[in-house]
Chains A and B, each alone.
Chain A
Amino acid sequence: MNKKISNSIVVVMVPIALYLFFLILRPKSFGKINTIYIIFTQSFITCMIAWGMQYLAKMGEFDLALGAEMILDSIIAALLSTRFGFLGMIAGCLLSALICGILKGVLYRVMKIPIMILTIALIYLLGSFGGLITNSAALTISYEYTFLGRAPGNVIVFLLTGILMYFLANKSVYGSNVNAVAGAPGISRNNGISVEKTKIRSLLLSSMFAGIAAIVQLSHGSGVTPSVGLDSIQNIMQPMMSVFIGFVMAQYVNVVFSIFVGSILMSIISNGITALNWSSAIYNIVVGAILLLIMAYMNVAKVYSKKHEEKMSAIANMKEMNMSNV
């Protein structure tokens, strides 16, 4: 069998196994096509955020302000939609995302502090700004502007974003630069790749993907409530877990697809827990346990990969020595 196909089967089997697990526990609910449809459509928002996050994550950085940004994007969009209709909503999300991305890039370039620390500070700033412009009140958008929150609107946005993501990750110089920086920042620098610029571009990209996700999210829920403090971090926990799962599976399939599989896994868990009517405490235990398992798996994989690299390097050295002796 073609290796690509067998690898894909290995990855696809994971959500299928999880689905079967819930199907056995609650066949009445998980035996329906509609449940599969809901699982897929609910994973779109998580997946789009995760796609944007993965570049920074690959380089060992995390943009924790994405949740706060999405809330601010939605607030600006909801406010603009009252004056400029549907276009105002779209423009609001994208413009706000662009400004946030540029702001993060500029601050990172000037201050040169770890992105995680910078974005924690930004959570407060963006959250408070959203609270100030809305007077902390919840906002809603008109039903006529919500068609991107349901099929086929959300499917189209998701597919277009996926195609864009695929090209960025696999066919662009930027994607190659990210891979190079993630692998060996020092060597990349020596080869003329600016680590700083690559990270700044990743910050901007993560904001833009979050902005697109915010359009779908606002359309899906039709409302947004300002969030001050660190509460908004909760919004990016599922995407973050999808990224981790995606990275683990990326050794078998393309990372764009593996992150999507990660998002579907999160969606299955969420739906499964609702279907089984498990308590919120169990929900947190299940999600937390999965995250821990993935982290542990990642560490093991990292150790294995390092050992493998050392072994390969030793073999290469030996070959080189043999050649020089000859």
Chain B
Amino acid sequence: MKRKSVKLLTSLLVTASILVGMVGCGSKTESADAGSQSAAGETEESSQPAEPEEGDTQKEADAGTTDKIKLGLTIYSTTDATAGPVVNNMQTACDGMGAELVIATDEQNPEKEITNIENLIANGCQAVFCLPYADDSIPRIAKICEDSEVYFGFYWYDLSNEETHDVCYASEYFLGNIYEDDVWSAYTAMKTLNEAGASHIGMFGLPTGRTTTTKRDNGIAQACEEFGMEILVEDRVNTNTSDDAASSVESMVSAYPDLDGIVIAGMTQTCLPGVIQSLQNLGLTEKVKVSCIDFNENQTEYFEKNSVNGVIGGHFTGGAWLAVLAVNKLQGTPLVDEPVSIKDEFIVLQSADDAKNYDAHLYQELPYTAEEYAQMSKKINEAFTYEDLLEIVGSYSIQDVMTRHNVK
């Protein structure tokens, strides 16, 4: 009997630990699995949009006059050098405009992403935002949001596929998408290598089948054609750990002795330390140039040691712009009546000074303060317009942030 009780107790303890671990891990400011929040029920009643028959305007007005606007974000992580700033900026935007943000992590799993969206909606979110990992997910996301009468939008996503574009733009709940010019980012990464004297390139790429992958591959192909560069070898598998990336570099260099450049077209967060370490072990830091897309926590150190020639990233304000669109819409002062596609700007780092400035003014501090975001709410600043938003988005750069924040 006693033994059985110990077993039962241990089983319960392990189950509870696993659940706590699963819930706790992805969270930063809110719960990872939004649906697990106990407050969901009570918030949901007060914040659910009005009946559809009453019309869109009525719903917006209702939302504006009741509780705090609640927005939901599903993202692959909340803390690394790329995803962390997205979350921090969006949180600051919500703080500034008086909205609440619920975050759920999806580990780049399309199914988990859908579940997160359902959970966020169940949790009372009035608008949800995600990066669709597959075009096929978009009709499902749109349907879930339409059925629940919840607004939705995409960050880091270009609606270049006509079919999905039409699905989204046909929905009255679609707010818009924030996208980056991924052809340009990959082209620029290659251009950096070319300027450093590299022409025989080894490539780390994202898995095929994604829109971002296709665009970055196109950018690389464009640069190869223009600068006479050649992709000798590509690896889209060994990108998840530093060790795998290090092994892959060893194999690449051994198989292709002419290799003099490495481009990391994604997953820099995990790849870069292994790539740098491997080149250092092989004594090839001088010979093989490195350029990558997406920021890494150690990039300043790598620039200081001349281990990396260029990093393109900093595209982390998309979530905040979606929050600006959503809050204005939900409080009954929409910036624009139709869905919108807004192009976000990348930041290009090419020296240790660039990396230090980025770190100090855009990473440790955020590019926009809560007060600046507050001024993007029409409820607080009636004069703010959609054109003003586009101007802010278009002028985003390290210099712009330093000027706005009076940094000499």
Indicate, yes or no, whether A interacts with B: yes
Chain A contact residues, CB within 8 Å of chain B: 26, 28-29, 32, 34-35, 38, 42, 45, 107, 110-112, 121, 124-125, 127-129, 131-132, 134-138, 140, 143, 146, 149-150, 217-218, 220-225, 227-229, 231, 234-235, 270-271, 274-275, 277, 279-281, 283-284
Q: Does B181 contact A (CB under 8 A)?
A: no
Q: Is chain B's binding surface mostly helix, strand, loop or mixed?
A: helix
Closest partner residue, chain B, to A22 (CB atom): B255
CB closest chain-B residue, reference A107: B14
In the complex, are the beta carbons of B18 and A121 less than 8 A apart? yes
Interface presence of B44 (CB below 8 A): no
Q: Which residues of A contact B24 (CB under 8 A)?
A: 128, 132
Cα–Cα, bound, A218→B242 (Å): 8
Q: Is the interface of A mostly helix, strand, loop or mixed?
A: helix
Q: Which residues of B contact A26 (CB under 8 A)?
A: 255
Residues of B within 8 A of A274 (CB): 233, 235, 248, 251-252, 255
Query: What sequence of 0s and 1s flags, for each residue 228-255 of chain B, a beta carbon within 8 Å of any chain A beta carbon?
Result: 0000111111001111111110111011
User: Is A222 within 8 A of B242, CB to CB?
Assistant: yes
In Å, the complex CA distance between A129 and B20 comes to 10
Q: Which of B18, B25, B273 contacts A138 (CB 8 A)?
A: B273
Q: How far is the CA of A217 from the CA of B269 in the complex (A)?
A: 17
Chain A residue nearest to B246 (CB atoms) is A221
Residue-wise interface mask of B (190-217) relative to A, using a CB-CB cutoff of 8 A (1 in contact, 0 not):
0000000000000000011000000000
Residue of B28, B80, B241, B250 with highest tally of chain A CB at under 10 A: B241
A146, B277: Cβ atoms closer than 8 Å = yes
**B255 interface neighbour in A110, A131, A228, A275, Cβ under 8 Å:** A275
Binding site for A on B (CB under 8 A): 6-7, 10-11, 14, 17-18, 21-22, 24-26, 28, 77-81, 84, 105, 107, 109, 207-208, 232-237, 240-248, 250-252, 254-256, 269-270, 273-274, 276-277, 280-281, 296-298
Find out whether the CB atom of B79 lies under 8 angstroms from the CB atom of A38: no
What is the CA–CA distance of A125 and B242 in the complex, to the nearest angstrom? 22
Can you identify 11 A-B contacts, CB atoms within 8 angstroms? Answer: A38-B250, A110-B10, A125-B21, A138-B81, A149-B281, A220-B274, A221-B245, A222-B273, A222-B274, A225-B270, A231-B107
Measured in the bound complex, the distance between the Cα atoms of B253 and A32 in whole Å is 12
For the complex of A and B, 4 pairs with smallest distance between CB atoms: A128-B21, A221-B242, A223-B273, A221-B243
CB atoms of A223 and B232 under 8 A apart:
no
Task: Using A223-B277, A225-B241 as known contacts, list a sample of 7 further A-B pairs with CB atoms less than 8 Å apart, ordered by residue number in A.
Answer: A38-B250, A125-B17, A125-B21, A131-B26, A149-B246, A220-B247, A228-B105
- Within the assembled complex, what's the spacing in Å between the Cα atoms of A29 and B236? 20
Q: Which of B79, B255, B269, B277 lies in contact with A220, CB distance below 8 A?
A: B277
Cα–Cα, bound, A279→B21 (Å): 36
Q: Pick from A128, A131, A223, A280: contact of B274, CB below 8 A.
A: A223
Residues on the A chain within 8 Å of B18, using CB: 121, 124-125, 128
Contacts of B252 in A (CB 8 A): 274
Q: Which residues of A contact B234 (CB under 8 A)?
A: 277
Task: Write out the residue numbers on chain B whose beta carbons fall within 8 Å of the beta carbon of A38.
Answer: 250-251, 254
Q: Which residues from B are CB-within-8-Å of A124?
A: 18, 21-22
A279 to B235, CA, bound (A): 8
A-side contacts of B242, CB under 8 Å: 138, 140, 221-225
With A and B bound together, what is the CA distance between A149 and B247 in angstroms? 11
Task: Report A-chain residues with C-beta under 8 Å of the C-beta of B11.
Answer: 111
Q: Are B80 and A29 in contact (CB under 8 A)?
A: no
Residues of chain A lying within 8 A (CB to CB) of residue B277: 143, 146, 149, 220-223
**Which residues of chain B come closer than 8 Å to A217, judged between CB atoms?**
243
Residues of A near B84 (CB, < 8 A) are 137
Query: Do residues B246 and A128 form an inter-chain contact, with CB atoms below 8 A?
Result: no
Q: A136-B80, A138-B273, A140-B298 are in contact. Are A29 and B241 (CB under 8 A)?
A: no
CA distance in complex: A35, B254 (Å): 6
Q: How far is the CB of A145 from chain B (nearest CB, A)?
A: 11
User: Most chain-B Cβ atoms within 10 A of its Cβ — which of A231, A271, A274?
Assistant: A274
**Interface centre among B24, B243, B277, by most A CB within 10 Å?**
B243
Pair B80/A138 contact, Cβ less than 8 Å: yes
Nearest-neighbour CB distance to chain B for A37, whole angstroms, equals: 8
The answer to whether A221 touches B241 (Cβ under 8 A) is yes
Q: A107-B14, A143-B277 are in contact. Are A132 and B21 (CB under 8 A)?
A: yes
